[in-house]
């Protein structure tokens, strides 16, 4: 999956609380290894994704700019 698509999916699930596949809000967060590997799963359509903490930090780096209104 492209980096742009990963960013879009994580923004949908983390910032909006919606599944990027079916837009349901019935999405749960889980951890495989505490603070190392985590994921999200939609109970409506079955969509799921997992990320390492390093991937998440890289993908979410621009989110603070979104909150504060700063340009990238």
When pLDDT is cut at 50, 70 and 90, the band that residue 18 belongs to is very high
Element (H, E) at 65: helix 63-68
Task: Give the predicted TM-score (pTM) of the model.
Answer: 0.71
Length of the chain: 72
pLDDT 10s digits, 24-53: 999 999 888 777 888 999 999 999 998 888
Tracing tokens 């951890």 back to the chain, one arrives at: 31
Return mean pLDDT, the chain. 83
- Domains of the chain with CATH codes: 3-67 (2.20.25)
d(CA 60, CA 47): 20
**Bridge partner residues of 41 (DSSP):** 28, 48
pLDDT at residue 1 greater than cutoff 80: no
């Amino acid at each position: 999956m492209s980096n742009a698509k990963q960013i879009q999916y994580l923004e949908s699930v983390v910032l909006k609380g919606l599944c990027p596949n079916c837009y349901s809000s019935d999405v749960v967060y889980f951890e495989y290894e505490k603070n190392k590997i985590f994921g999200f799963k939609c109970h409506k359509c079955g969509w799921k994704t997992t990320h390492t903490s390093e991937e998440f930090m890289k993908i979410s780096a621009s989110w603070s700019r979104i909150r504060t209104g700063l340009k990238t």
